[in-house]
Structure 1
Amino acid sequence: MRHDNRLSRMLHILVHMARHGGPVTSERIAAMLGTNPVVVRRTLSGLRDAGYVRSEKGHGGGWVITCDLEQVTLLDIYKAVGQPSLFAIGNEHSNPDCMIEQVVNLAVDDALREAASVLVERFRTISLGELNRLFDERRAAGHDGSIS
């Protein structure tokens, strides 16, 4: 089963961009993520449309973060990347007239709605600035991990 990792990838890149302090090319971002620069540009275009990044053309150009890290939340970025499905599980719809299937689907739908609500609310409380600070804390504590 394939997971949609656009949110975590873009959060990763945004913190890198904030720490870099200058333009970062699509090629460099693609190398960090192990993907194609076209995929990077397509995904970053949603963040550009939301006003979180901009692209600078020409020599020395690239993507630049334009938002206040303290004001932008994980929820904001989740919305900007297209609100991908939060869960990989879902309901069976092979026999919609079956009352057992209907009851199961209702129970699963209710649980998924409740879980999604909790997760979205948590996303609302975490800023990009907090991610940046958490990185600094982990680095200062000597956690082994590269900036890639």
Structure 2
Amino acid sequence: MKRDSRLSGVLHVLLHMAEADGPVTSETMAKAMQTNPVVVRRVMAGLRDAGFVHSEKGHGGGWTIARDLADITLRDVYSALGAPEPFAMGNRADAPGCLVEQAVNAALDSAFQDAAALLLHRFGAVTLAALSADFHARMVASGKSIDLETVHAA
């Protein structure tokens, strides 16, 4: 079962961007996310449309964070990604007339809806500033220095 890791990847890159002294190119982010720069530009376009990042073209250009980290929640980023389905599990729909399947699906639907509501509530309570503070505490504790250009080099 394939998992959608875009949220995790975008949050990762956004935190690296917050540490950068200037714009970060799609190519640099693509290396960190182990993907193609075109994929990065597509994902970042949604964040730009939501007002979370800004892009500059040309020499010295790239992506920058457009808002204070305290003003961006995980839910904001999740929504900017198109609110992907949060769970890989789903209901069986092979026999919609079967009363057993209906009972099972009703119970699962209720549980999935409750879990999704709780997850989205929690996403709304966590800001990029909180993630950044956690990252900084981990960096201090580890004694390491983090640089997007080199930390993800193979």
Give TM-score, length-normalised by structure 2. Answer: 0.92
Q: Distance in 1 between matches of 2:130 and 2:25?
A: 25
Per-residue Cα deviation, 1:60-115 (whole angstroms, up to 9, x for no partner): 11111111100110000000011011000000010000000000000000000000
1:48 alignment counterpart: 48
1:6 alignment counterpart: 6
Letter in structure 2 aligned against 1:142: S
Alignment of 1:132-143 (within 5 A): 132-142=132-142
Note the residue ranges of structure 2 that are not aligned, 5 or more in a row.
Answer: none
Q: Distance in 1 between matches of 2:127 and 2:54?
A: 19
1:28 alignment counterpart: 28
Give TM-score, length-normalised by structure 1. Answer: 0.96
Percent identity over the alignment is: 51
Q: Distance in 1 between matches of 2:90 and 2:8?
A: 22
Alignment of 1:62-73 (within 5 A): 62-73=62-73
Alignment of 1:122-137 (within 5 A): 122-137=122-137
Aligned-pair CA distance for 1:144: 7.2
Q: CA 1:145–1:82 in 2, change beyond 3 Å: closer, same or farther?
A: farther
Letter in structure 2 aligned against 1:100: V
2:74 alignment counterpart: 74
1:117 alignment counterpart: 117
Q: Which moved more, 1:99-108 or 1:21-30?
A: 21-30
CA RMSD after TM alignment: 1.4
Q: Distance in 2 between matches of 1:36 and 1:56?
A: 19
Number of aligned residue pairs: 148
Structure 1: 4+ residue segments shifted above 3 A: 143-148
Q: Which moved more, 1:90-99 or 1:138-147?
A: 138-147
Aligned-pair CA distance for 1:17: 0.6
Aligned-pair CA distance for 1:139: 1.3
